């Protein structure tokens, strides 16, 4: 987007700006405005149809969020609210923090 339209304010993340599939234009997620320098997304249907974006790490949304959900249910027996999740991510010894570190490492490795 040339100018952010349709953003919503979130206490935790500031303003969230919607992203759209580069191929079909379907709304596909939101990005914190303060972190945006460039965002390029494909919806799952277009990614399945056209393949992965060259030279990028891609873990399907369903797989990643399934791992996050399973970790929360296994560890706590419920889904955490945003404050509880933030607290867990701040402690590097928790299961969710370790999952986040693993995910970031894979992204950084693929970017090299």
What is the pLDDT, as a whole number, of residue 77? 92
Tell me how far CA of residue 108 lies from CA of 22, 60, 61, in angstroms: 23, 17, 18
Q: Which residues of the chain are modeled with pLDDT < 50?
A: 111-112
What is the pLDDT, as a whole number, of residue 26? 92
**pLDDT, tens only, 63-82:** 777 888 888 898 889 998 88
What is the pLDDT, as a whole number, of residue 111? 47
The model's pTM is 0.46
Tell me how far CA of residue 91 lies from CA of 67, 87, 97, 98, in angstroms: 19, 7, 7, 9
């Amino acid at each position: 987007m040339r100018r952010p339209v349709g953003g919503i304010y979130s206490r935790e993340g500031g303003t969230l700006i919607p992203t759209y599939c580069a191929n079909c234009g379907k709304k596909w997620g939101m990005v914190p405005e303060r972190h945006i320098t460039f965002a390029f997304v494909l919806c799952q249907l277009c990614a399945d149809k056209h393949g992965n974006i060259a030279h990028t790490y891609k873990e399907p949304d369903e797989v990643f969020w399934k791992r996050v959900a399973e970790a929360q249910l296994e560890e706590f027996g419920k889904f955490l609210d945003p404050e509880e999740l933030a607290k867990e991510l701040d402690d590097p010894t928790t299961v969710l923090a370790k999952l986040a570190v693993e995910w970031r490492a894979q992204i950084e490795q693929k970017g090299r």
